[in-house]
Amino acid sequence: MCGIVGVVGHGEAEGFIIEGLRRLEYRGYDSAGMGVIDKGGALHRLRATGKVQALADKVPAALGGSTAIGHTRWATHGAASDDNAHPHKAGRVLVVHNGIIENFKSLREGLAAQGRTFTSQTDTEVVAHLIDREMQAGSDPVAALKSVLPRLEGAFALGVMIDGETGFIMGARKGAPLIAGLGGNEGYLGSDPLALSGHASQIMFLDDGDMAVIRPGRIEVFDARGSAVTRKLVPAETSHVLAEKGNHRHFMEKEIHEQPEVMGRTVSHYVDAFENSVHEIAGLDFRAASRLIIVGCGTAAYAGEISRYWFGSLARLAVEVDIASEFRYRDPVFLPGDIALFISQSGETADTLEAMRLAAAAGVQTLALVNTPHSTIAREASLVVPTLAGPEIGVASTKAFTSQLSALACLAVLAGRHRGHLDRAQEAGHVASLLASPGLMVKALEREGEIEQLAHEIAGHPTVLYLGRNQNFPLALEAALKLKEISYIHAEGYAAGELKHGPIALIEEGLPVIVIAPHDALFDKTRSSIQQVASRGAHVIAITDPEGARALEGEAARIITLPKGSQLTNPLLFASAVQLLAYHVAVYKGTDVDQPRNLAKSVTVE
């Protein structure tokens, strides 16, 4: 969602804000703004629709500000416009805000009845007015914010500065991420560590309900009851170098090519390469589990769907996979012995977090499969199983997805051992294949040239279909999602065996049908589906391995041949091919690959 960055005690605060907002562009936004107090004590509020550069172009030269807050906004209440861009101001109070204030209408009506005038359509502006009202009644800024926070309903992260006050900024969070930081005699506020990297030497992850007052070299924190508390400061390890594209045109391209490294890092975390075994995870025992519930959103949910096949075949463990937004509202039934696994790249996905809280309230053990170890989901789960993908800037998930699959594969092998369905030799074989996956991924990525050529061929089609069987069915869903996300082409994924139950009616002359077809136990059935659509005029593109390529010669119009993998590694390798295909289609069409329209990296509200 939106991004927040703030600083106090800096020699050129406006430059820091612009740099921080650029780093947060990956989160998705439609406008940007900042408030800065210049060296003469005057307040400047600058806002612009469009990219951060449009805001940068409005910054007067040599402000020399020491205190500032900035924001990238993704419209929720009110259209994308300069008036609706943050910060919002009432009296001396400036506010930036991520999330949604659910009761803003009633608050706004009450404030309007008292004669207050609103200049935007946002829910955020009511917060500025509430704080300003408290200050006009005699409260100091810290007491005013403390008084206002209990009246706000919803999920939010706030950044607050006061006109004329250069000694502090304030922040507060409820259900949305927010961090504070220190570096030398400066203080920082941000919604993402990436915004502060290279500046803050230490960062503090605020707990849900916390309010922070950030001064040069000092952070004061109050909990949801308003009591002073101590939160741990940790080293700021994220390097801004990780946010550089290097020699790549886009972050998405860079992150696709980082997959061998991050897959290796994730697998190495879970396995003993010397013993070819999976490490035990303290507190996790699949032996008595009656069922594994897996919950996620979007790509994370598809990773869970793929792993359902692994847990079933390797561990004979019943698995139920659900989309978080459906799970939390369908009154789910929990059984004795259930384990619930929640997948989220950011660890802040609103629906996934609430689904996990629902399971926890029912007494179910909760596992968090996250890429952000200090996130809210990670902190609230019974156990954390990390993915170690590092920062992912592109909105369309790539390396986070394959890292999730890598971790899930290791967990499935562990479950198989726990439940007595994998002997020592079988476990060693699966672990060996996972350890080999980074090298196979490197070879798979070498097919990029022919995938790019193929992308140019299908970029002009209005619809693309993806087919797969068994674990390749959810991968077909993920492949279609990737194409939709960044190229804006209508795409659908189907179970190949369902063709005759309706989807085959869509087949017409020249329609691109991309079939994920490794030469596995179901290859002949997949081959039959290829023949069915080809006979009806479809332009069939098969993604397969060397043995499959030989068998399909003359039956598919185009064949992309990837290295031979295993049950656990095939989805990883085939994921790289469909990611590259979506990427090159989008590049050819000229869309905004890293920041596709209407999408945000982290969905922290419903």
Task: Show which residues are catalytic.
Answer: 2, 601
Contact in structure between 94 and 35 (CB atoms under 8 Å): yes
348 phi and psi angles, rounded to 5 deg: -125, 5
Q: What is the DSSP letter of 157?
A: E
What are the structure tokens assigned to 308, written together?
């359902």
Q: From CA 84, how far away is CA 88, in angstroms rounded?
A: 8
For the stretch 359-368, contacts whose Cβ atoms lie closer than 8 Å and that sit 24 or more positions apart, written own/partner, are 359/293, 359/295, 359/332, 359/334, 362/334, 363/334, 364/293, 364/334, 364/338, 364/339, 364/340, 365/338, 365/339, 365/340, 366/340, 366/341, 366/342, 367/284, 367/339, 367/340, 367/341, 367/342, 368/342, 368/344
What are the structure tokens assigned to 191, written together?
């919604």
Q: Which of 297, 301, 585, 305 is nearest to 468 (CA)?
A: 305
Distance, C-alpha 577 to centroid of its chain: 21
Q: From CA 302, how far away is CA 473, in angstroms rounded?
A: 10
Q: Give 513-567 as a 3 state SS string.
A: EEEECCCCCCHHHHHHHHHHHHCCCCEEEEEECHHHHHHHCCCCCEEEECCCCCC
How many residues in the chain? 606
Contact in structure between 24 and 192 (CB atoms under 8 Å): yes
Q: Which helix (H) or strand (E) element contains residue 464?
A: strand 463-468
Measured on CA atoms in the order 45, 49, 51, 56, is the torsion positive or negative? negative
